[in-house]
Structure 1
Amino acid sequence: MVEAVTAPEATAEETAGEQTENKWVYLFDEVDQAEAKVGGDWEAVRALLGGKGANLAEMTRIGVPVPPGFTV
């Protein structure tokens, strides 16, 4: 027989106001946030988001119809 194991739940004290230092997932409409994180250098944004992710985010920013999405 296989027994299910669940992970312990975090308490409110453990999660309240907690932010991780590194953000790994960016929505396409968060390109400005990614750009601010790397100091405004577009090549650094491309390195952070990847070429396709950065280009889709830029297209979203300038108003090209792009399906909602994210990049990891």
Structure 2
Amino acid sequence: MISYLTPLAAAFLIIASSMVILTRRDRRRMDDGGPDTMRIEESATRGLRDTRRRAHVYRDRFWREHE
């Protein structure tokens, strides 16, 4: 039983530590930016939201036409 848990625990620790490192880097990058960085991030988020909304509308229309 322990022979199965050891590699599983090692894999979990590797993935968890990688995620922590990437999250710290991302936060540090966001803190270094100024108002321009925040404005760009807001517009990118807004653009993704609009794109997702349009995709849902298109999908719903497509399914209605083919029913």
For the aligned pair, the TM-score class normalised by the smaller chain equals under 0.3
Question: Is the helix fraction higher in 1 or 2?
Answer: 2
Q: Which structure has the greater CA radius of gyration?
A: 2
> Relative CO higher for 1 or 2, CA cutoff 8 Å, sep ≥ 6?
1
TM-score by length of 1: 0.23
Question: Is the strand fraction higher in 1 or 2?
Answer: 1
TM-score by length of 2: 0.24
